[in-house]
Amino acid sequence: MECPQCQADSLRVIDSRDVEAAPAIRRRRECERCGFRFTTYERVETPALTVVKKDGRREPFSRDKLSRGIRRACEKRPVSESSVERVVAQAEQAIRGCGDTEIAGERIGGIVMRQLKDLDQIAYIRFASIYREFADLSELDAEIKKVLLKQETAKASSRNRQPA
């Protein structure tokens, strides 16, 4: 690294601290030659991630595309912006945590659907209807019945746990 003022390479770090908004380290540096002070940021560079589509095409992973799909599913639902952002962040973390540089689109859809199922059932059904490409209403109806059955089972289970 060089001083942006005089291009000398004799720098010293004055202060280091974590950046709250991102996984990075902020460093204040000073040039030992000219005394110029400046700030640098260091972050871990994640490897490029490629999404393998159903038809075999490959495209770079896009957090923005993931976010748009989740936001569209949650549109006009009582879901806060922070909840949507949390789902996006958790999904991206799970996707990158797979350890591969290529990931199937189906796997990404499954990760997002698990997140949405816990957040909002309507958003889950909306996302599933696109992701699973339901051929007709009977397939959509079957998925809705699965969600309702799980909801009823959860309610019955919570009633049985409450003291009488």
Residue 145 lies in a domain: no
Residue 143 lies in a domain: no
Q: How many domains does the chain have?
A: 2
Do 35 and 110 share a domain, yes or no?
Answer: no
Residues 6+ apart with CB under 8 A from 43: 22, 23, 24, 25
pLDDT at position 24, please?
Answer: 82
Do 113 and 130 share a domain, yes or no?
Answer: yes
Do 72 and 129 share a domain, yes or no?
Answer: yes
User: Are 19 and 10 within 8 A, CB to CB?
Assistant: no
Residue 108 lies in a domain: yes
CA pair distance 30, 5, nearest whole angstrom: 11
Angle at 50 between CA 48 and CA 51, to 5 degrees: 150
CA pair distance 126, 73, nearest whole angstrom: 5
Compute the Cα dihedral for 81, 83, 84, 88 and give only its sign.
positive
The tens digit of pLDDT for each residue in 73-94 reads 999 999 999 999 999 989 988 9
Task: Take residue 6 and report the two structure tokens written for it.
Answer: 């005089």
Residue 70 lies in a domain: yes
For residue 75, give its domain range: 50-136
Do 60 and 126 share a domain, yes or no?
Answer: yes
The tens digit of pLDDT for each residue in 22-73 reads 678 999 999 999 999 999 988 877 778 999 998 999 999 999 999 999 999 9
Q: Does the predicted model carry a pTM greater than 0.85? A: no
Do 67 and 99 share a domain, yes or no?
Answer: yes
Residue 18 lies in a domain: yes
Residue 58 lies in a domain: yes
CA pair distance 56, 48, nearest whole angstrom: 18
pLDDT at position 30, please?
Answer: 97
Q: Look at residues 95, 106, 35, 28 and name the one whose alpha carbon lies nearest to residue 63.
A: 95
Do 54 and 126 share a domain, yes or no?
Answer: yes
Residue 153 lies in a domain: no
Residue 61 lies in a domain: yes
